[in-house]
A and B are shown apart, each in its own frame.
Chain A
Amino acid sequence: MNTILFQLFGALATILLAFTVGMFYGGIRRKIIARIQNRVGPPIYQNFLDVIKLYSKETSIHHGAMQHMGPVFAITASITSLMFVPVLNGEGWFWFKNLNFSGDLIFLVYMMVFGSLGMALGAGQTGNPNSAIGVTRGLSQMVGYEIPFVMSMVALMAQFHTTSITGLMNIQVQENTWLMFSNPFAFIAAVLAMLGMFHYSPFDIVHAPAEVASGPVSEFGGKYLGLMMSSGSIFAFVKLTLFVNIFMGGAANLIELVIKTFALYLIPVLYGVTSPRYRTEQAITYFWKWPLFFGVIAILWASF
């Protein structure tokens, strides 16, 4: 009984951590974009205010069961993948142990897709054509970036003969190196794929405000939007932590984790503010050029 309580407590702590960090990063991103566009911008805690406001709002309509469950699918995917990503290195802090040893990278890659598909179903039932267009764009783009991403993951698995995240982290601790130096091509391919994963400009074709009126989200307001925002920030934390764990040697404590994830987070953000949006087919084929090339090299590098 005690262990179950302990685990639940740890899970809750992890979720809170991920939520807070993700929310702050979102706020900082808004601030950075504003400064680059020579605006003052909202305060960095603005996202918290938004979520609190959205939760406290009353939602008066729904489009049916699938639409009701769409945001639930999204947050299920975010939290479940969070449970399988180690937060800290080694034994770490016992709070954040969760289910780290119950799944591996392949599982996680699939778990991370769960949310977007559930969300897509929810958006589908609303009948808003903009939502459906956004979903088709998002899924198409996913085919683009998943390939270089998986290539770099396969390269690492092949190089170190393990498919588990904890396994890869242990190797970095033992050899006292970061995998981004052991297989630089895999890192490049993964970072380029990450640009698409974050759906920030120039790959923001899913939500493209001026084209499809924020796409899949357009029929979701109030508590639904609040849940989706929370899910989005948790998911951003999951992605960043996963990258830090795999390529940058993980983190020994929370401060190190925050520094490393933030450094990584700046890549899609800064690349985004300076680039205009792609068309959908450009956004897909982008990943089938240089990122794919680096992926192929990474696998060759790993196998020889």
Chain B
Amino acid sequence: MNSLILLLILVFGGALFSYLLNKFLPILRDGFVVLLMLLVNYVFFTMDSSTQIDFEMGGIHLQWAFTSAAFLFGIIVSILGLLSIIYSTAYMKGKDRLGYFYMNFLFSIGSMLGILMSRDLISLFFFWEIMTWSSYFIVIYSGKDVDKRGLKYIVFSAIGAYSMLMAIVIIYGFTGSFLLTDIFDSIFAIKASYQLAIAILLMIGFGVKSALMPLHVWAPGAYSGSPMSFTALFSGALSKMGVFGFALVLFNLVSNQNWLVNEVIAWLAAITAVLATFYAVIQSDAKKLLAYSSIAQLGYIVIGLASGTYLGVMAGLFLAVLHAVFKGTLFMAVGAVERQAGTTDMTKVSGLIRKMPWTFTASLISIIALAGIPPLGGFVGKWMLYEALITSDHYYLVIMVFLSSTAAFLYSYRILFGLFLGQEEPEFAHVKEAPLPMLIPMLLLSGISVLSGTFPGFILEPIQDAMVVFGFDSRIPNIEWWQLTVLFNSWGDKVVLQNVMIAIMGVFLIALAFITIKGYRKQRYVTTKDISSSGEIIQPEDNMTFQIDFYKPFERAIWPLLKRRIDDYYTDLGNGLEALFDLVRRIYNGNGQFYAIYVMAFLALLLIAGTKYFGF
């Protein structure tokens, strides 16, 4: 059987089967979904890259195949899908409606693979809608604030879907084909203004999923409201579908001369990155913080793509993969804290490091990768992004990215301190380390973060293949990318990653040995209540926790930016529309006699206008 069809049958059939299994034999459910995802990964990675399907449905030519770009994003989907399913088996234990949950979970994995393999706009739109609906069902799974979070998500997804549909119709009207290959060939023949309209409409569609400002308002609620095992996939892989779409539009549907589009998108993304980071800094809930941070990170990715240079696009795609890795881990870690300690509110929970050391280790590594500190993978992506922007003369854009990533240190520290460090509270003394099925995915993913900092080649290799699809030739021939440990920019400046790793690890280990050998045996552990306090003795009941208004001074410094939120503008728009509809209701008041008057008035108007302008 064709492996593409096999893949879809496996995931979608497995989704329905897991629902039934949960009804009749719930004991086999967890094992089944994990096995299923293992099988999906096996089929995906052993697939022949030239596999293709062509078929007609209702007179429309449809085509499915994995291009190398789609394959890159497919790697994220399938691996993160597998790991988050493994994580789910422990995380969701004891919750109800698990059949519903796993069915929609697998549906969204399947629809993502479907989106990636679509080579025509009809099946793209079809799978896109399945993805929206299945993720919507998980967003409202918990049943809390459904009218607020769920409505925002579905309304914005609908806006995106409608503008996509409109773009598809316009494209079909001009080119007479739904096939992407045909469209890419003939798109530049149509008028520039229509090209722009198509690009804007499609970008609204994809921008909703990749949470680009001003279309991001659904993201904080939807990310923080779904079960964390799904949010790992939601933020890690599902939002990347928007990025994938962006790449298609930017490189295949907009002519290269149209730098204005690139600049506007890049600046929008930069503003997204900065503002979302500021919002992340002032959050006190770990889930919300990560949600805003995801928005900011997607901003970097889009900046990289929109910069349009070889290194920039590479940086964008690298960050896309890496973001899936570290943000997946972080959402899982926060989920572990939520499950073990009962809350992710950082003003309540604190000091879990000694109770959950492995969760802490995984989140520490991911935070270092997120902040872009050498020698981990995040630094490689950040470095490429900066160098790409500087060498292509985007100086002020660099400053925006720098502002955003420096402010990101604030929330990076906040989440580690808020959950794991700080005072150990007696009410969390009972907390135990998360179960193994939750730890293993986290630790595996953080292993990737570490490895990609010294050997980014194993991620850069598929990225380089993918870039051929976006119209970039491979510029550095005769290099085994797996061995690549030196990063170059186009001015010839470099970073030797191996030297960095050796220097940091060497100094770190020597200093650690030095400080540990000197009298560590005689040192004893003291609690966090045993601290210097100007002579007063701190009693166990004294509250020494510092968690509320953590970054108040920073908030005061940036308050002009935070004064008015984009949500308010949408609320204003909503109120304005409501007033407008109210006016309409007054006209269409359901009274037949009024309608008769309207008809009369219209006729009278016609008569007057007719005699005056048309002469009858």
**A contact set with B: CB distance below 8 Å:** 55, 58-66, 68-69, 71-73, 75-76, 79-80, 83-84, 99, 101-104, 106-107, 110-111, 113-114, 117, 120-121, 124-129, 132-133, 135-137, 139-140, 142-144, 146-147, 150-151, 154-155, 157-158, 161-164, 167, 213, 218-219, 223-224, 227, 279-281, 284-285, 288, 295, 299, 302-303
Contact = CB atoms under 8 A, between A and B. Distances in A.
Contacts of B55: none
B526 A58 contact: no
A155 B390 CA distance: 10
B306 to A, nearest CB: 19
Nearest to B543: A129
A144 B403 CA distance: 9
B551 interface: yes
A299 B374 CA distance: 27
Contacts of B525: 61-64
A150 B406 CA distance: 11
A72 B496 contact: no
Contacts of A135: 413, 417
A110 B382 contact: yes
A128 to B, nearest CB: 4
Contacts of B526: 61-63
Contacts of A75: 507, 511
Interface string B385-419: 01100100101101100110011011011001100
22 contacts: A63-B525, A64-B525, A71-B511, A72-B508, A76-B504, A76-B508, A102-B496, A103-B500, A106-B387, A121-B421, A124-B422, A125-B422, A127-B423, A132-B417, A136-B554, A143-B403, A150-B402, A164-B493, A218-B531, A224-B515, A227-B514, A302-B395
Contacts of B390: 154, 157-158, 163
Contact of B503 (A83, A285, A288): A83
A158 B495 CA distance: 18
A218 B531 CA distance: 9
B382 to A, nearest CB: 7
A280 B396 contact: no
A76 B407 contact: no
B489 interface: yes
Contacts of A142: 406, 409
B265 to A, nearest CB: 21
Interface stretch (B81-89, B123-131, B254-262, B516-524): B516-524
Contacts of A167: 493
B553 A140 contact: yes
B376 to A, nearest CB: 11
A72 B512 CA distance: 6
Contacts of A125: 353, 421-422, 528
Contacts of B424: 127
B546 to A, nearest CB: 4
Given A126-B531, A127-B423, 16 more contacts: A60-B523, A61-B523, A64-B354, A110-B382, A124-B422, A128-B528, A128-B531, A132-B417, A139-B409, A140-B551, A142-B406, A143-B403, A164-B493, A227-B515, A284-B554, A303-B395
Contact of A117 (B373, B491, B516): B373
A65 B512 CA distance: 11
A28 B238 CA distance: 58
Highest count of chain B CB atoms <10 Å: which of A66, A71, A72? A72
A80 B504 CA distance: 6
Interface string B472-515: 00000000000000000101011110011001100110011011
A140 B519 CA distance: 36
A173 B471 CA distance: 41
Contact of A102 (B409, B416, B495, B528): B495
B52 interface: no
A281 B557 contact: yes
Nearest to A98: B503
Contacts of B403: 143, 147
Nearest to B519: A58
Interface string B165-184: 00000000000000000000
Highest count of chain A CB atoms <10 Å: which of B386, B407, B412, B544? B386
A76 B510 CA distance: 9
B563 to A, nearest CB: 15
Nearest to A81: B503
A140 B410 contact: yes
A228 to B, nearest CB: 11
B515 A223 contact: yes
A117 B553 contact: no
A104 B493 contact: yes
Contact of B554 (A114, A143, A303): A143
B379 interface: yes
Contacts of B423: 127, 129
A104 B490 CA distance: 13
A97 to B, nearest CB: 12
B553 A66 contact: no
